[in-house]
Structure 1
Amino acid sequence: MFVRNRMSKDPVNVTPETSIDDALALLKVHKIRRLPVEESGKLVGIITDKDLMRVMPSDATTLSKFEINDLLAKIKIKDIMAKSVISVNEGAPIEEAALLMSRNHISGLPVISNDGAIVGVITETDIFDAFVDIMDLEEGKVRLTLEVDDKIGVVKDIATIFTETGNNIDSFVTCPKTGGKYDIIIRGNFEDVDGLTTKLTEHGYTVIQASHIGH
């Protein structure tokens, strides 16, 4: 799954010369939290609702409404935008976008094409939705969590057990732990969970949990 498959396309953009007042209006009308800044068809910055609110006069200001409006009209996006922008290519795996957001503690990324044009925005909500789809959570599956040793042949051995018991694996995820151990999370439509658990235990695998998640 790639970024282009989950991003919001044709995002609302501003230019460096856009006024603060106009940018605030765009955020309100489109109910969004960030605006990529575009110049000559390229991504040159980004502005967020927090950036805009920081330059707004406080409630304690002695300025008149006319003076406030005049001040906001003079401040341009280029004066407060972040110029060092973290972005992601539309052809990148969605995991790369998730990693960038996690490392940089941000909730959204502008998406660019190979020539640097803004083609979309991907947010943490898009990542969460992708996770739900990848794990097929809406369908309602049995989730088995196994603790295994980090050694060659474990995945093949477990897959053989499922095959021999007539169980099809829908998703298979490994999560490293300390002490040379791994958690393996397996989801599927497993009818005889007790029998499958017994078979896995007989082969030396510890079944930590068996549960049903989703509809």
Structure 2
Amino acid sequence: MKAQDIMVKNVICVDMDERVPQIIALLQQHKFHHLPVTDQDKLVGIISDRDILRLVSPFIDSVSEQARDLDTLNRAAHQVMTRQPIRVKANTPINDILEWLRKVDISCLPVVDDEDYVIGIITWRDLIHHAKFS
């Protein structure tokens, strides 16, 4: 089995200048945990819900909110994303993908073509969904 056999193909990506509130809305609306970040449709990074949790101040919408808390919402994707994410090609064997997820302690891998255009994404949930146990 290869990446192309289990990847999610209709991937929603965000532009590197997209702002944090829009990223949060996409994550919540689609119940995603990861969003590839693109520049001219080519993969340049990835943002996870954990990245957002680390960034956004817990004081927003509270009595303790300050201007610096709101400033965290004005950041762009390129200021939050993990740059140069590990990526795989459509013909990458599933065993290699499992090894990357385990070795690097990540939970998703974007799938790109030869020009770095995002053509899919694989998460650990996709792998479990397609697992065959003997």
Q: Give the TM-score taking structure 1 as reference length.
A: 0.56
Query: 3-state SS of the aligned residue for 2:131?
Result: helix
Query: 3-state SS of the aligned residue for 1:89?
Result: coil
Q: Give the TM-score taking structure 2 as reference length.
A: 0.88
Structure 2 regions of 5+ residues with no counterpart? none
Q: Displacement of 1:72 after TM fit?
A: 4.5
- Choose between structure 1 and 2 for higher RCO, CA contacts under 8 A separated by at least 6 residues: 2
**Bigger Cα Rg:** 1
CA RMSD of superposed structures (Å): 2.0
Q: Find runs of 4+ consecutive structure 1 residues off by over 4 angstroms.
A: 67-70
Between the aligned partners of 1:11 and 1:5, the Cα distance in structure 2 is 15
Q: Displacement of 1:130 after TM fit?
A: 2.5
Counterpart position of 1:31: 31
* 1:25–1:127 distance in 2 versus 1, CA, 3 Å: same
Between the aligned partners of 1:61 and 1:104, the Cα distance in structure 2 is 40
Between the aligned partners of 1:31 and 1:5, the Cα distance in structure 2 is 22
Between the aligned partners of 2:80 and 2:98, the Cα distance in structure 1 is 26
Counterpart residue identity of residue 111, structure 1: V
* 1:61–1:98 distance in 2 versus 1, CA, 3 Å: farther
Percent of aligned pairs sharing the same letter = 27
Between the aligned partners of 1:69 and 1:90, the Cα distance in structure 2 is 41
Counting only pairs closer than 5 Å after superposition, residues 21-170 of structure 1 correspond to structure 2 as 21-59=21-59, 62-63=64-65, 71-132=71-132, 135=133
Q: Count matched residues.
A: 132
CA contact (8 A) 1:21 1:72 kept: no
Counterpart residue identity of residue 19, structure 1: R
Q: Displacement of 1:129 after TM fit?
A: 2.5
Structure 1 regions of 5+ residues with no counterpart? 138-215
